[in-house]
Chain A
């Protein structure tokens, strides 16, 4: 096992462990901290995949934007410390059966597929390539994204405004 593999396993373990904390924790803020470390683990894995720009953007948008938005939303809601977060499991046995069979199917697919051995990715800078591609090959999706962001802004502002009046 090379150092590269070791680092990958560390980040994967960090991601999965934080996700488990996030899902099973009873305190909302603890879940948010678990989410923080999950995002961090994913950013690490992006780095190992030679996607440096995406890794930094992951930290900037997810940790710096979405996590803060979530924390603000949680802290704005009332009595968040007193609410019991654990929703009761309704039907344990059927749920276990369905999830278990899904897991078995996934594992079989993973092991039976003939994965091709691709030569290791070149670790070169990606920002310039992304910039050029955005302007040339992917121009239409890029402009549509601007309209999407505009819609998101208007919609979110509208919803937040309505709630203020109640």
Chain B
């Protein structure tokens, strides 16, 4: 088993080495022409407004929390799945109790609306039409 994990470690180190060598190579042969326009933050060509931080939806944090709980549950499911073939019905029933508890949790979070992302606000159609006043293309303009 140590042999196998040694392989994993060597691969990680090789990944870092590969990236390192490529970046070094690039650093040797690249052009270097710093210019204030290039060094400023990119915002579709406009001058950036404010700092690089925006107020986030708290949904991100809630999703990460729910994910963590289910991740721990999945971790318990894996060793059970490995021995499931041998242990049979009794193990199945025990695990179903476990899964049922967590399905109750999922149902709770679902029903209370914690899994909802904020939907985009629907702008009613008349509002849009009044914003842009399209001039009609007349015969004189077309000719």
Q: Do A and B bind each other?
A: yes
Binding site for B on A (CB under 8 A): 4, 44, 47-48, 50, 52-53, 55, 57, 60-61, 64-66, 68-69, 72-73, 75-76, 78-81, 123-125, 127-128, 130-132, 134-135, 139, 142-143, 145-147, 149-150, 152-154, 156-157, 160-161, 163-164
Give complex CA distance A154, B102 in Å.
10
Chain B interface residues (CB < 8 Å from chain A): 1-2, 5, 9, 53, 55-56, 58, 60-62, 64-69, 71-73, 75-76, 78-84, 87, 90-91, 94-95, 97-98, 101-102, 104-105, 108-109, 112, 114
Picked from B79, B98, B101, B105, the residue with its CB within 8 Å of the CB of A127 is B79
Task: List the A residue with the shortest CB-CB distance to B109.
Answer: A157
Q: Is the CB of A150 within 8 A of B101?
A: yes
Tally of A-B residue pairs with Cβ under 8 A?
130
Taken together as a complex, chains A and B put the C-alpha atoms of A73 and B91 apart, in Å, by 38
Decide if A76 touches B82 in the complex (CB within 8 Å).
Answer: no
Cβ of B83: which chain A residues have Cβ within 8 Å of it? 128, 131-132, 135
Kindly state the separation between the CA atoms of A56 and B75 in the bound complex, as whole angstroms.
Answer: 10
Which single member of B2, B9, B91, B102 contacts A123 (CB below 8 Å)? B2
B84 partner residues in chain A, CB cutoff 8 A: 131
**B interface majority secondary structure:** helix
Whether the Cβ atoms of A160 and B79 lie closer than 8 Å is: no
Whether A75 contacts B73 by the Cβ 8 Å rule is: no
Closest to B113 in A: A161
Chain A residues lying within 8 Å of B72, measured Cβ to Cβ, are 61, 65, 149
Instruction: Closest A residue to B68 by CB, please name it.
Output: A65
